[in-house]
């Protein structure tokens, strides 16, 4: 039961890190969420955007940046206990991005640098996402549930490519995300 709770918390952490803080409906309950009429940032729809992707991420947070709304209590919780100043987080993110792009092992970088962790202290897992308007698998989230910053970056990456989502209070409020498209 503890592992199930940990897995559920891990998913909630990932959604909070770069997506909608509202939890998805329980399996078998309700329809899939409404899909936005247009993709983020005025991108064209169609074959240029993959239907399904899997990505990994390293979150570099700063003091009080990484927050999520607890679905049970509806209270905002700060998930990172870092005292890192914003400027130090930006420098750290740039350093991690350089390391990832120079061929360093992404999983090892994630183990060392990410602030997105489960209640057991493990780095959060892979994120499976589907383009809005296509049938999604049960383990996927829709692109429209992500914050605009990550959504714009991850769906443009090629498999194996690494990118960074800059911190922005509205587009990526949790900090800087270094993302790698896995599939």
Q: Write the CATH number for 77.
A: 3.10.50.40
Place 67 in a pLDDT band, splitting at 50, 70 and 90: low
* Structural domain harbouring 115: 2-27+46-181
Residue 151 covered by a domain: yes
Question: 182 and 55 in contact (C-beta within 8 Å)?
Answer: yes
| 38 is a domain residue | no
Number of domains in the chain: 1
pLDDT band at residue 174 under the 50/70/90 scheme: confident
> Could you tell me the pTM of the whole model?
0.69
Percent of all residues in the chain with a pLDDT value above 90, rounded to a whole number: 34
Specify if 34 maps to a domain: no
Interatomic CA distance for residues 109 and 58, integer angstroms: 8
Q: Which of 93-97, 139-143, 167-171 has the highest mean pLDDT?
A: 93-97
Q: Domain for residue 107, yes or no?
A: yes
pLDDT tens figures, 85-95: 999 999 999 99
Tokens for 148, please give them.
């605009």
Q: Are 139 and 11 in contact (CB under 8 A)?
A: no
| Contacts of 77 by beta carbon, 8 Å cutoff, 6+ apart | 67, 68, 69, 70
Distance in angstroms (rounded) separating the CA atoms of residues 158 and 165? 15
């Amino acid at each position: 039961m503890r592992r199930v709770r940990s897995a559920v918390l891990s998913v909630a952490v990932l959604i909070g890190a770069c997506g909608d803080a509202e939890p998805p409906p329980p399996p078998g309950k309700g329809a899939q969420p409404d899909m936005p009429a247009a993709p983020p940032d005025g991108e064209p729809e169609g074959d240029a955007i993959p239907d399904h992707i899997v990505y990994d991420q390293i979150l570099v947070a700063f003091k009080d940046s990484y927050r999520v709304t607890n679905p049970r209590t509806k209270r905002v919780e700060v998930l990172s206990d870092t005292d890192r100043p914003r400027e130090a987080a930006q420098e750290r993110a740039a350093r991690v991005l350089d390391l990832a792009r120079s061929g360093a092992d992404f999983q090892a970088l994630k183990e060392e640098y990410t602030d997105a962790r489960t209640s057991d202290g493990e780095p959060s897992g892979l994120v499976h996402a589907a383009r809005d308007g296509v049938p999604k698998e049960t383990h996927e989230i829709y692109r429209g549930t992500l914050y605009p910053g990550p959504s714009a970056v991850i769906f443009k990456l090629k498999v194996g490519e690494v990118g960074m989502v800059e911190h922005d209070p509205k587009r990526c409020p949790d900090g800087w995300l270094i993302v790698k498209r896995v599939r």
